[in-house]
Structure 1
Amino acid sequence: MKKRIHEVELFIKYPHEVQTEVFFNLIDTAKDTEFGKKYEFSTITSLDKFRERVPIHSYNDLYPYIKRLMEGEQNVLWPTEITWFAKSSGTTSASKFIPVSNEALEECHFKGGKDLLSIYLNNNPNSNLFTGKLLSIGGSHQINTLDKSSKSQYGDVSAVIMKNLPFWAQLNRTPSLETALMDEWEAKIEKMAHETLAENVTGMAGVPTWTIVLINRIMELKGAKNILEVWPNLELFIHGAVSFTPYRDLFKKLVPSDSMNYLETYNATEGFFGIQDLPQSEEMLLMLDYGIYYEFIAAEEANSENPKVYSLEEVELNKSYALLITTNAGLWRYMIGDTVKFTNLSPYRIKITGRTKHFINAFGEELSIENAEIGISKACQETDASINNFTAGPKYFGEGSNGCHEWIIEFAKEPNQMEVFVQELDQALRKSNSDYDAKRYKDIALSLPTVHMAPEGTFHKWLKSKGKLGGQNKVPRLANNREYLEELLQIIKGH
């Protein structure tokens, strides 16, 4: 693991050279695939030619190729055999199936897993992580029936990784693979709780929401006040998929220890992109040698027809960019829908700012997920509250009434003063977003937000009604319409 730190230092020192090498390797490897022949990869000698020739792709653009891969054809997007597909968790559209090649598993996902441990141990040389087990809350997997030979399989990206882990990694994890890959989530949480009760768990990895559900169930079974009474040697929580900011205070109560460490990763369905390399930081090091070539589009141009595309050396600090990736699994100039901003350019460190399609802009306010999470966090801090989940959307202008933002929040601990919570949320949003502030000025266009307190289990019920219970599934934080709000309000009304 120490050897790997030197390789990380190498791409930190020579980021552009490493990315150029990745780019030409990808082009050369795929030149004889159907896609490579179509765009004449064998004659691409520069990035400019690549950009001129290969269009930006959405999932729908690549789907005809992916469908054929799922039906058993090979050498379509990538030369090596592809039998695994990572199923995306999109609550906004039909599920997507992302091809996972052996190279993507070995050189990206597994490498990311090893690197986060290398970085953690490098920062914490006295760690006792390997004296116990890592509890991982994975996804689920199914046999893919599209391939008549039943050779190809799909599942959440975490399930695909678990299913393919080398034997040495299996020895060090809990619960059993069979339990970890169950797809009925309520039964799975129950079984996980019983299986891991007596283990010496030193680390956990998972989405914060599901980790909280599991911890609460274990504490209930043991009659414990906090999880350290069950797992006294717990020292690390590896998290990703959603912002940790709204959950931080709740975890401090569940794990009341100053020596508990939190490590954020950016491990998406399409690839492993970033690892928090500095303790006590909310930024992540962009990993440049995982067989992924990065390009960037200014977030405000993400949905335009011919956006200007930037390479890594052209990005600017604190500007939001949509991520465009070319990968060693055959995703070519693929727009994944996430937006990031660079907090540092040497080395390249990023923060996830949201989604290209998850925002509220019903009144020209361009409210991003980052704005929302800052607001929620500040309001919780000022009113001694903590949350389980939230979503927000627009409440449109009515007769004689302004528009506003409507929030549904499921609290783990309710605010000591709800009025103050709403005021603090509004003030923080105004500070972090000048467009929102302008619309709120003297209540001219937007009124104070409306906040509904959701009973415990509301979001769980909503996800269940969508068939979206699972480790990779998450509640859409913001929407530009009222679809989620109306569905959730019906659940609250029924309650």
Structure 2
Amino acid sequence: MEIFNSVFTWFMKKRIHQIELFMKYPNEVQEEWFEQLICGAENTEWGKKYGYKSILTLHDFKERVPIQTYDTLKPYIERMLKGEQNVLWPSEIRWFAKSSGTTSDRSKFIPVSEEALEECHFKGGKDLLTIYFNNQPNSRMFTGKILTLGGSFQVSELNADTSFGDLSAVLMKNLPLWAELHRTPDMDIALLEDFEEKIEKMAHATIGVNVTSLSGVPTWNILLFKRILEITGKKTCWKYGPTLKCISMAR
């Protein structure tokens, strides 16, 4: 673990220069990504509909592509949920992040491509760690396990090759190997659908684990910590000004 922590710290610091360039040239970075996205989607059904091949500038895009809402995209997404490909994006779409519900619909289903996972979610996490390790060079975060508490997912009834669920569950199911090796608890517990069962099993599974970092919805993590304190009978303490206060969660 110590070796991994050292190697990972070095690797993360190597990216700080690129992050600094992004901050220095934000407009150029945005223009480059705009071109990549337009070129990437030009042969999809959506790209052909709006002539992406001949879009050269942001002005072209704004003039040609109307502002969209989820309702206008919903028919396309429903087809993708059934397994149809190359509709909005060229790479295979097998995962959908499901929202908890809105005023316009019970839930929204957001297509999650491999590029979205790698270039947005995972790279965003790496950049966060890069900035953290740059500011805290002596951190020992990766000398232990990462405790992750997320949601759940299920296979779509419309297509056996398509799954949807909480974004946290989608990310966990697609984690790179290095991240999965340093995560706790086991995936069969972390992705349980019944929340109370999940909290109970996670509490028992992680009591004896050396956890050095946390990931997940903060309010969910608090419930997990309370349950761990109840099981162990230990106290939790915090400092408020010069005063140290402790409470026991023992039954």
Is the structural similarity TM-score above 0.5? yes
Question: Residues 150 and 217 of structure 2 are in contact (CA less than 8 Å); yes or no, is this contact kept in structure 1?
Answer: no
Partner residue, 1:59:
70
Superposition deviation, residue 16 in structure 1 = 0.1
Return the match for 1:141 from 153, 156, 162. 153
Q: Note the aligned Cα RMSD (angstroms).
A: 1.5
Superposition deviation, residue 257 in structure 1 = 10
- Give the secondary-structure state (helix, strand or coil) at the position aligned to 1:45: coil
Aligned counterparts of 2:177 and 2:169: Cα–Cα separation in 1: 15
Partner residue, 2:143:
131
Return the match for 1:23 from 34, 41, 47. 34
Aligned counterparts of 2:138 and 2:178: Cα–Cα separation in 1: 22
Superposition deviation, residue 10 in structure 1 = 0.9
What amino acid does structure 2 have at the position aligned with 1:145?
Answer: E
**Structure 2: runs of 5+ lacking an equivalent:** 1-11, 242-251
Larger strand proportion of the pair: 1
Superposition deviation, residue 57 in structure 1 = 1.3
- Give the secondary-structure state (helix, strand or coil) at the position aligned to 1:154: strand
Aligned counterparts of 1:184 and 1:112: Cα–Cα separation in 2: 29
Question: Residues 145 and 182 of structure 2 are in contact (CA less than 8 Å); yes or no, is this contact kept in structure 1?
Answer: yes
Does residue 121 of the first structure (1) align with residue 137 of the second (2)? no
Aligned counterparts of 1:205 and 1:44: Cα–Cα separation in 2: 40
Does residue 36 of the first structure (1) align with residue 54 of the second (2)? no
Partner residue, 1:9:
20
- Give the secondary-structure state (helix, strand or coil) at the position aligned to 1:226: strand
Superposition deviation, residue 91 in structure 1 = 5.5
- Give the secondary-structure state (helix, strand or coil) at the position aligned to 2:146: strand
Aligned counterparts of 1:91 and 1:61: Cα–Cα separation in 2: 15
Q: In terms of mean alpha carbon deviation, does 85-94 or 202-211 score higher?
A: 85-94
Kindly indicate whether structure 1 or structure 2 has the higher relative contact order, using CA contacts under 8 Å at least 6 residues apart.
2
Question: Structure 1's 26 and 257: CA in aligned 2 closer, same or farther, altered over 3 A?
Answer: farther
Return the match for 2:179 from 169, 175, 184. 169
Write the mapping of 1:10-409 to structure 2, written as runs, cut at 5 A: 10-90=21-101, 92=103, 93-147=105-159, 150-226=160-236, 253=238, 256=239
Question: Structure 1's 91 and 38: CA in aligned 2 closer, same or farther, altered over 3 A?
Answer: closer
Aligned counterparts of 2:42 and 2:73: Cα–Cα separation in 1: 17
Superposition deviation, residue 90 in structure 1 = 2.6
Partner residue, 1:455:
none
Aligned counterparts of 2:183 and 2:135: Cα–Cα separation in 1: 22
Deviation digits for residues 357-410 of structure 1 (CA, Å, limit 9, x no counterpart): xxxxxxxxxxxxxxxxxxxxxxxxxxxxxxxxxxxxxxxxxxxxxxxxxxxxxx
What amino acid does structure 1 have at the position aligned with 2:143?
Answer: T
- Give the secondary-structure state (helix, strand or coil) at the position aligned to 1:82: coil
**Structure 1: runs of 5+ lacking an equivalent:** 228-252, 259-495
Identity %: 61
Aligned counterparts of 1:206 and 1:143: Cα–Cα separation in 2: 22
What amino acid does structure 1 have at the position aligned with 2:213?
Answer: G
Aligned counterparts of 2:114 and 2:215: Cα–Cα separation in 1: 23
Superposition deviation, residue 221 in structure 1 = 0.8
Superposition deviation, residue 89 in structure 1 = 1.9
Superposition deviation, residue 167 in structure 1 = 1.5
Aligned counterparts of 1:15 and 1:44: Cα–Cα separation in 2: 21
Give the number of equivalent residue pairs: 229
Question: Structure 1's 146 and 174: CA in aligned 2 closer, same or farther, altered over 3 A?
Answer: same
Deviation digits for residues 105-155 of structure 1 (CA, Å, limit 9, x no counterpart): 1111111121221111111111111111110111101111111xx111111
Question: Residues 147 and 214 of structure 2 are in contact (CA less than 8 Å); yes or no, is this contact kept in structure 1?
Answer: yes
Partner residue, 2:246:
none
Superposition deviation, residue 58 in structure 1 = 1.3
Larger helix proportion of the pair: 2
What amino acid does structure 1 have at the position aligned with 2:133?
Answer: L
Deviation digits for residues 154-181 of structure 1 (CA, Å, limit 9, x no counterpart): 1111111100111211110111111111
- Give the secondary-structure state (helix, strand or coil) at the position aligned to 2:214: strand
- Give the secondary-structure state (helix, strand or coil) at the position aligned to 1:205: strand
Write the mapping of 1:439-454 to structure 2, written as runs, cut at 5 A: none
Deviation digits for residues 425-477 of structure 1 (CA, Å, limit 9, x no counterpart): xxxxxxxxxxxxxxxxxxxxxxxxxxxxxxxxxxxxxxxxxxxxxxxxxxxxx
Aligned counterparts of 2:108 and 2:17: Cα–Cα separation in 1: 36
Superposition deviation, residue 49 in structure 1 = 1.3
What amino acid does structure 2 have at the position aligned with 1:110?
Answer: F
- Give the TM-score normalised by the residue count of structure 1: 0.45
- Give the secondary-structure state (helix, strand or coil) at the position aligned to 1:125: coil
Aligned counterparts of 2:227 and 2:16: Cα–Cα separation in 1: 38
Runs of 4+ in structure 1 deviating by more than 2 angstroms, as ranges, are: 90-93
Deviation digits for residues 278-334 of structure 1 (CA, Å, limit 9, x no counterpart): xxxxxxxxxxxxxxxxxxxxxxxxxxxxxxxxxxxxxxxxxxxxxxxxxxxxxxxxx
Aligned counterparts of 2:62 and 2:181: Cα–Cα separation in 1: 45
